[in-house]
Amino acid sequence: MPFVTTKDKTEIFYKDVGNPSGKPVVFSHGWPLNSDNWENQMFFLGQHGYRVIAHDRRGHGRSSQPWGGNDMDTYSDDLLAVFEHLDIKDAMLVGHSTGGGEVIRFLGRHGTSRVSKAVIVGAIPPVMVLKDSNPLGLPKSVFDGFRSAMIADRAQFFLDVPTGPFFGYNLPGAKSSQGLIQSWWQQGMMCSFKSAYDCISVFSETDMTKDLKKIDIPVLILHGELDQIVPIRASALEGIKLLQKGTLKVYPGGAHALPNTAVDEVNGDLLAFLKS
């Protein structure tokens, strides 16, 4: 399997498939998943002639599981290592949920010289947790509850999340997919306990307000109207105000897991943005 080694000797697994001479599209996944969660989008864009690349974040999936480095700066540095290793240029960068935060921090921290466009889906920026400067955020007690549930019974917690709010299966009239639930659980349980636990603070407390303001390339925001994991009011509706060249598309009735629950529409939006 292909890996890139970071400065702290962490082995980051990546996929590099599709048309090797096509325009690159680089994907960053959400918590506590891995690059497999982008398989529908990678297959679709690969069929349309694009080079599609995705990595497993440190501690997640097939990447190694260091005790440290579970913070957004290091995540973005690991992504840069993938870019440099594969000599990626003129890419479209796509991130879901925590991966959307990774995309925004990458662009704010490392600039846009290698990236021409970006898409964030159900993403965490600007910041999720409630504080004086973020009155629309979620109380810290919500995320403390995540940590407590992990410590009490991670395996059950990692069933409860996809069975309910992640895919929106707890909403009236929703049709659930046992396969998606099991896939989420399998990916989540591949993540190291320490990384999954630490990342709760990363995705809830990292403030990307300054990063959003720095970005000088077109950014498309896709967000579900009924996202229960990253409520739209404090994320997409605030983030769009900070971007220089931002476009927001709201999916009516959409849940958090748009790449899984609105596959055709997300694929179409990605392809249209690539061609625009």
Q: What is the pLDDT of residues 68-113, one digit of tens each?
A: 999 999 999 999 999 999 999 999 999 999 999 999 999 999 999 9
Out of 28, 63, 97, 192, pick the active-site residue. 97
Out of 211, 227, 235, 269, pick the active-site residue. 227
Range of the domain at 122: 3-275
Q: Where are the alpha helices (DSSP H) in 191-262?
A: 193-205, 209-214, 236-239, 258-261
pTM score, two decimals?
0.97
Q: Is pLDDT at 159 greater than 90 in this prediction?
A: yes
216-230 pLDDT per residue, tens: 999 999 999 999 999
Q: How far apart are CA 258 and CA 161, in angstroms?
A: 15
Using H for helix, E for strand and C for coil, what is the string for 20-77? CCCCEEEEECCCCCCHHHHHHHHHHHHHCCCEEEEECCCCCCCCCCCCCCCCHHHHHH
Residue 227 among the catalytic residues = yes
> How many domains are there within the chain?
1
Mean pLDDT for the stretch of residues 4-14: 97
CATH code of the domain covering residue 217: 3.40.50.1820
CB 147 within 8 A of CB 200: yes
Out of 29, 96, 223, 256, pick the active-site residue. 256
Q: How far apart are CA 36 and CA 183, in angstroms?
A: 9
